[in-house]
Amino acid sequence: MQENAREILKKYYGYTEFRKGQKEIIDSILEGKDTFAIMPTGGGKSLCYQIPAVMLEGLTLVISPLISLMKDQVDSLNSLGISAGVINSTQSINEVKDTIYRAAQGELKLLYVAPERLDVESFYRLLQTLNVSQIAIDEAHCASQWGHDFRLSYRAIAPFLERFHPRPVVSAFTATATVEVKEDVVKILGLKEPNTFITGFDRQNLSFSVIKNENKNDFILKYLEDNKDKSGIIYAATRKEVDNVYIRLQKKGYSVGRYHAGMSDNERQESQEQFLYDDIKIMVATNAFGMGIDKSNVRFVIHYNMPKNIEAYYQEAGRAGRDGESGECILLFGPRDTMLQKFFIEQTVFTEERKINEYRKLQAMVDYCHTTRCLRKYILEYFGERNVQDKCDNCGSCKNDGEIVDITIDAQKIFSCIYRMKEKYGVTMAAEVLRGSKNQKVLNLEFDKLSTYGIMKNYTIKGIKDLINTLIAEEYLTLTEEEFAVVKLRNKAVEVLKNKQKVMQKVYKRKEKVKVDNSLFDKLREVRKIIAQREAVPPYIVFADSSLKEMSEIVPLNREEMLNIKGVGEKKFEKYGEEFLQVLIHYNNEHKVRNIEDKVVEEAAVDKEKKIPSHVSTYNMLKEGKSLEEIVQHRGIKRDTVKEHIMRCGLEGLEIDWNIFIPKKYEELILEKIKEVGCERLKPIKELLPDDVDYNAIKAVLCKYKNAN
């Protein structure tokens, strides 16, 4: 069963290995178990129900919240050679009838519909005539009122499922869910004793940073100047701010579009398609834009304003780097952002229980903006992950070399002032007292009589508020969960007041960006754009940026080498491969990145340049300290070939560190299975071992012990 899944992965998607958790989720669905998977944006959750859809008999029904999401998925599947269709409100009656006919004839493996369709009795009766083998629910967090994007239409799913006899296997997927939301989703969707998989929320390819105390417009202009030709999204909280940023960038000559609810349906659709098809590079939008937009080559997401909670922020920021390549997630924080989000809560949330919950989530978002700790660690712990490393080396807190300063005295001043104000007032009032403000309210309350009045005159009000917010984020202080929040001391603050603990803060420096040569990558993007226009699909449907980047680094020169590029499956090579190969060969002829005869040289196992065997040349590079990836790129040969070279050197008596191939915890187990079934064929050994033990590890164990004997 699993071999079939791997064959499908390679044949259609162009990958040889599953990502973390995908294999286990696919197995669960194929075994007929209800399955709930929480995977980060860009983690490959769609593939987890698409591969079972190909393998199972009959039709997979996919319930998805947005038209744009469904269209993207169907376009992508059809380009891979997997038959898929969609029914939505934008289609004509004839288009809907044609899709239904194709489903009835068994021509479709996947059919995408919106949850609203489930209430239509005629649609349910239609499905009863089809062999529905799986029902997949995307964006499953929409079912929970505690989630960040609650949709009432998702409540129709459970009654819909109960009407099926027999009931198909049900799979549900989301990218962002706290423990509370996860439990709510399982209950509301009526999942039957589901296998639950949490693959982790970490997106290691994304960098996170928060920019405070800077002019937001100036920052954006400088950032775009430094990142020309990159595709990105700028989120703003209101329509007015979207329009202002859009007009400002348009006047500066940037390729920019906008998207918000104040535009007509046609205007929004046109703007979205221009962005998807790379006709514009930058989209300025409210949070109405992006859910389900599967554009893989978004390189940056900038938040002009702070979002309402971490769930919303992580989902929106996660639209960067969906292809696995690097992406930047930058939040521009200003003091007005908090008041704006409080206003939205008061205007849109009407039950007291939900309002308290929304204020609690908002405070966690504010704390994120002020923490001096690792930003990635903060996000991961928010979603319930434990034992997260203190440093990720890929966020604004970790990457920026800064000076650690002792702010204990200022912290004690703040704590003492809050204590003397009886812990009954908010951040602004505390800051005004510490600054020595002549504000009438301060004077009426006789706070000017306090010993802490004016003891931080060397700070601005804003500077004191920033410091208080940092102390809240670092859990010295806390805020009550209401519109006009009150600041209170926590136990950590009491320890500082007693001189039992110090308060340290990092002061940051800014780093300059390094320029990179992307000339071949740009040429490949041009070819992709031409093909996309011809095929009437978004460019990333042809190949993701990650595939083009690997092509530009490896420079494949024939069909076999192209099929070893991640994301290049047989179907896609048949359709597009030769056009890219022409560019790669032409570029190589001009720049001599690789010797065309390398392949012949490899076959003959002779390095003409050094007059030594090719495998020894590889070994020498390893001994010089080069990594396997560096050797792959330098020599233009496959990673597996590099490993074969090194193992061959080991058999010839050269010193090898076998740990680079053999997982230490499995070495004895591999050896045991070799003794059990013999070593004439590798496959029987592999079948007795855990899936994360690859063939190279088995070969390495054989080489190591053969050499030792």
Rounded CA separation 88/73 (Å): 13
Rounded CA separation 362/322 (Å): 26
Query: Which ranges constitute the DSSP H helices of 474-577?
Result: 491-497, 519-535, 539-542, 545-554, 559-563, 570-572
Q: Residue 36: what are its φ and ψ, rounded to 5°?
A: -120, 120
Rounded CA separation 39/24 (Å): 13
In 149-296, beta strands by DSSP E: 169-174, 195-198, 206-212, 231-235, 256-259, 282-285
Residue-wise pLDDT for 329-344, tens only, equals 999 987 678 888 988 8
End-to-end CA distance of the chain: 38
Rounded CA separation 148/175 (Å): 12
Residue type, 124: Y
Residue type, 521: F
Bridge partners (DSSP) listed for residue 60: 110, 134
Residue-wise pLDDT for 603-622, tens only, equals 333 343 444 667 788 888 88
Does residue 689 register a pLDDT over 80? yes
Residue-wise pLDDT for 385-423, tens only, equals 888 888 898 998 888 766 778 889 999 999 999 999 999
Rounded CA separation 113/393 (Å): 41
Residue-wise pLDDT for 4-52, tens only, equals 888 899 889 888 889 888 999 999 999 999 999 998 776 788 999 999 9
Which comes out higher in pLDDT, residue 643 or 595? 643
206-351+376-387 belongs to which homologous superfamily? P-loop containing nucleotide triphosphate hydrolases (3.40.50.300)
Rounded CA separation 349/677 (Å): 65
Q: What is the pLDDT of residue 608?
A: 37
Does residue 197 register a pLDDT over 50? yes
CB 442 within 8 A of CB 434: no
**Hey, CA dihedral for 432, 437, 441, 443, is it positive or negative?**
positive
Rounded CA separation 476/504 (Å): 12
Q: Return the DSSP state at 186.
A: H
Q: What is the pLDDT of residue 253?
A: 92
Rounded CA separation 633/149 (Å): 44
Give the C-alpha distances (Å, rounded to integers) separating 146 from 179, 286, 482, 686: 11, 21, 17, 45
Q: What is the pLDDT of residue 14?
A: 87
Q: What is the pLDDT of residue 374?
A: 92
Instruction: Name the pLDDT band for 572 (thresholds 50, 70, 90).
Output: confident
Rounded CA separation 466/398 (Å): 20
Q: Return the DSSP state at 449.
A: G
Query: For 229-233, 262-266, 293-297, 414-418, which range has the lowest pLDDT when averaged over its residues?
Result: 293-297
SS3 235: strand
Rounded CA separation 75/72 (Å): 5
Bridge partners (DSSP) listed for residue 136: 62, 171
Bridge partners (DSSP) listed for residue 328: 207, 300
Which comes out higher in pLDDT, residue 67 or 306? 306
Q: Hey, what are 420's tokens?
A: 């003397």
Does residue 601 register a pLDDT over 80? no
Residue type, 486: V
Residue-wise pLDDT for 89-140, tens only, equals 778 888 888 898 898 888 999 999 988 888 888 888 888 888 899 999 998 8
Please name which of 246, 294, 229, 256 lies closest in space to residue 77, comparing C-alpha atoms. Answer: 294
Chain CA centroid to CA 489, Å: 36
Q: What is the pLDDT of residue 421?
A: 94
Domain ranges of the chain: 2-198, 206-351+376-387, 403-507, 519-591
Q: Return the DSSP state at 513.
A: P
Residue-wise pLDDT for 274-301, tens only, equals 998 889 999 999 988 876 567 888 999 9
Query: For 45-49, 139-143, 641-645, which range has the lowest pLDDT when averaged over its residues?
Result: 641-645
CATH number of 403-507: 1.10.10.10
Q: What is the pLDDT of residue 569?
A: 85
Q: What is the pLDDT of residue 47?
A: 93
Bridge partners (DSSP) listed for residue 489: 477
Residue 445 CB neighbour total at 10 angstroms: 16
Q: Residue 507: what are its φ and ψ, rounded to 5°?
A: -100, 125
Which comes out higher in pLDDT, residue 602 or 350? 350
Please name which of 362, 367, 20, 329 lies closest in space to residue 201, comparing C-alpha atoms. Answer: 20
Q: What is the pLDDT of residue 435?
A: 93
Q: Which helix (H) or strand (E) holds 586?
A: helix 578-591
Residue type, 474: E
Mean of pLDDT values over 302-313: 93
Instruction: Name the pLDDT band for 246 (thresholds 50, 70, 90).
Output: very high
2-198 belongs to which homologous superfamily? P-loop containing nucleotide triphosphate hydrolases (3.40.50.300)
Residue 413 CB neighbour total at 10 angstroms: 18
Cis peptide bond prior to 166, omega within 30° of 0: yes
Rounded CA separation 150/185 (Å): 11
Q: Angle CA(79)–CA(77)–CA(81) in degrees, nearest 5?
A: 55
Q: Hey, what are 574's tokens?
A: 């048949």
Query: Residue 210 region, left (φ>0) first, then alpha (ψ -120 to 50), else beta?
Result: beta
Give the C-alpha distances (Å, rounded to integers) separating 464 from 340, 396, 445, 467, 469: 20, 22, 20, 5, 9
Please name which of 643, 619, 655 lies closest in space to residue 699, comparing C-alpha atoms. Answer: 643
Dihedral angle of Cα 481, 484, 487, 490, to the nearest 10 degrees: -10
Length of the chain counted residue by residue: 709
Strand 487-489 versus strand 477-479 pairing type: antiparallel
519-591 belongs to which homologous superfamily? HRDC domain (1.10.150.80)
Does residue 594 register a pLDDT over 80? no
Q: 2-198 and 206-351+376-387 share one CATH topology?
A: yes
Rounded CA separation 393/391 (Å): 6
SS3 653: coil
DSSP-assigned letters across all residues of 27-80: HHHHTT--EEEE--TTS-HHHHHHHHHHHSSSEEEEE-S-HHHHHHHHHHHHHH
Residue-wise pLDDT for 503-557, tens only, equals 887 665 544 444 556 789 989 999 999 988 888 888 888 898 888 988 888 888 8
Output the average pLDDT for the chain. 85
All residues at 6 or more sequence positions from 382 whose CB lies less than 8 Å from its CB, including other chains? 178, 310, 364, 368
Rounded CA separation 505/320 (Å): 30
Residue with tokens 């928060």: 210
Q: What is the pLDDT of residue 598?
A: 43
Rounded CA separation 272/267 (Å): 9
Rounded CA separation 682/702 (Å): 10
